[in-house]
Amino acid sequence: MPKVAVVTTGGTIASRRDGQGVSRPVVAGSDLLGTARTGTEIRVVDVMSKDSSSMTFADMDRVRDAVTSELSDPDLDAVVVLHGTDTMEETAFLVDLHHADPRPVVFTGAQRTFDHPESDARTNLADAIAAGTDPALRGAGVLIAFGGAVHRASGTRKADTTSLDAFRSVHPNSVQPTGDLRPQRLDPLPWHPIAGTRVDIVAAYPGADRVQIDACLAAGAQGLVLDGLGSGNANPAIVEAVRDCTSAGIPVVVTTRVPHGPTSATYGGGGGGHDLISAGALFSTDLRAGQARILLAALLADPDLTDLDKEFDRRSRVDPAPRIS
C-alpha cells in the first residue's frame, strides 16, 4: 500500500464560510483527509492554518522543513502539501529549488471552500495523492496538481482568480493531465533559510519614476525584482535607479508582467531591456516576478555562492517538459 504524508498549511481547501460569507481556514487536516481515496496509507502533518496571502518567508521555510522531515521516512512514497492558491507558486518553487529526493512532492489547494456544495477540494486532493503515487512521476521534482492537470512547479503561476483550472505554466508542454514531466533537473541548491532576506518587487508602468526603488532600498532591500513591460523593459528613470542599485551591490532582476513568453534584452532607446542589462540588471528568462523573487532570495541567503549572476540565469530558464504520444 502506498504511503503518503499530507502536510497542511491552511488555504481555501481548508476553509469554511461563516454566516457573513467570509472564508477562513478552520478545517483540520483529519477532516480534510476523511474523503481521501482508499488504498493509500495517509499521515497528516498539520504545520499551520493560514490564508496563503499572509505567508511570509519564515512560513515558507517551515513548509520546506516539514517536507524534508517527512521525506526522512524511507518508507514514504510521496508528500502532498495542501496550500492556499495565492502564494502556492512561491512555496512550491522554494521547495523545488532544494528538493534532492526522487520522491514527488505535490502541492494542491482549492478555488472553492471545503464546505462549498461544488467544492474542488476533494477532487484536487485525490488527484494530488494519485500524482504522488504515480511511478511515472518519480524524479519529476515538485509538482502542482490542480484542476485536472499536473504542472511542474518551476514556471507555473496562478492565472485565474476563479477558474477551477487556475494554474498555467510559461510553457504549454509543461501542463499535462498525464505523461512524463521529468525534465533534466538541475542540482538542488544548498539549504539556507530565506527568512530575514528582503527582496522586493517593483512594478514598471507608463511614467514610473524611481520612488518605489528608493523606498525599497531605504527599507533595507537586499535585492529587487523589476516587473517590467513587454519583453522586459522600463524607462530611463528606472534604468538610472537600477544602475545605482547594482553599483551599490544590490542585484536587480528583470522579469515581465506579460503572462507568457521569455524576456529578451533587445530594446534600447534609454529604457529598454538592453539598457537595463547595461545598467547591471539580470534577466529572468522564464520565471515571473513571484518565483524570480524566491530564486533571488534563495541565492542571496547562500553565503558560499560565488556567482549569483550565472546561477540565477541557469535556474530562471524553464525547459519545456517532453510529451508522450
- Catalytic site positions: 12
Closest among 94, 79, 82 to 46, alpha carbons compared = 82
Torsion sign across C-alpha atoms 44, 48, 54, 57: negative
Pairing of strands 282-283, 78-82: unpaired
Closest among 261, 318, 321, 279 to 295, alpha carbons compared = 318
Alpha helical stretches, state H, 26-120 = 29-32, 57-70, 88-97
Distance between CA atoms of 96 and 292, rounded to whole angstroms? Answer: 13
Dihedral class, residue 41 (left if φ above 0, else alpha if ψ from -120 to 50, else beta): beta
Check if the beta carbon of residue 130 is closer than 8 Å to that of residue 106. no
DSSP E strand boundaries for the chain: 3-10, 15-17, 23-25, 41-50, 78-82, 105-108, 142-146, 149-152, 156-158, 167-169, 175-176, 199-203, 223-228, 252-256, 282-283
What string of DSSP letters covers 171-190? SGGGEESSS-----PPPPPP
Closest among 146, 165, 64, 159 to 107, alpha carbons compared = 146
Residue 273: its H or E element: helix 273-278
For 208, the grid coordinates are 514610473
